[in-house]
Amino acid sequence: MRARASADAPAVDVALKEWSLICDALMTGEHIAIARKGGVRDAKGAFRLERRHFALFPTNFHADVAGAPEGTRAGDMKAGESVSMRLTATATRAWRVPASSAEACFALFSESSGWPKDLFAKRANFKPSNEVTVVELRAYEVADALTLPPDEQRYGGCKSWINIDSWRPANVRAVLSDEEFAEKSSALGRDLAALGATEIDVTNA
């Protein structure tokens, strides 16, 4: 059962750029986490959780892999198209996964979705010495999407985070009920523990 609508969503002033197919999986509750190593333009080339509350910016940057599910390819800001953000998220837990377990970590996302492993191979092989940061997200669907006009200079490029004008979403709904989320969270924690992951604090982000 879906959670009731909420009127007290926090304001957000940053958005995380994520593949549109992952945003779709978060929207349906199929996934409750993201796994990242960091973009080329991220500080020191490593992923860092900059905020606990943020919006999700769907993109296909570096996602041009054969086999992507139909209907998951949203417009790229770099192509001069506007982007609509329909999800916000709160980071509830996070882990560091050793570089030696990166392939197995990304395989979890492939296995849980049924999508081809090639979709995640680039992230598993990118920066082979980097740890993987996995962030568990409580995702919220926004009834009235925020549409960003084309601005490649501000929003484009291989970076994880972008600054946006402060936005307080109205009429949001948790994608999963508390019970559904708790069940998936427990399973995620067990899977990551088996990979030697170390849980990290998210309260100061």
Identify the residue with better confidence: 128 or 82: 82
Take residue 112 and report the two structure tokens written for it. Answer: 């849980």
The domains of the chain are located at 8-200
Those residues whose C-beta lies under 8 Å from the C-beta of residue 129, and which sit 6 or more positions away, are 99
Helix orientation angle between 102-113 and 118-125, rounded to the nearest 10 degrees = 160
| pLDDT score recorded for residue 115 | 65
Render pLDDT for 50-73 as a digit per residue (tens, 0 to 9): 999 999 998 875 544 444 444 444
Does the pLDDT at position 7 exceed 70? no
Rounded CA-CA distance 102/115 in Å is 17
Does the pLDDT at position 4 exceed 60? no
Place of tokens 């197995």: 104
User: What's the predicted TM-score (pTM) here?
Assistant: 0.85
Take residue 86 and report the two structure tokens written for it. Answer: 């329909």
Render pLDDT for 128-166 as a digit per residue (tens, 0 to 9): 778 899 999 999 999 989 998 887 778 877 778 999 999
| pLDDT score recorded for residue 170 | 84
Those residues whose C-beta lies under 8 Å from the C-beta of residue 67, and which sit 6 or more positions away, are 115, 116, 118, 119
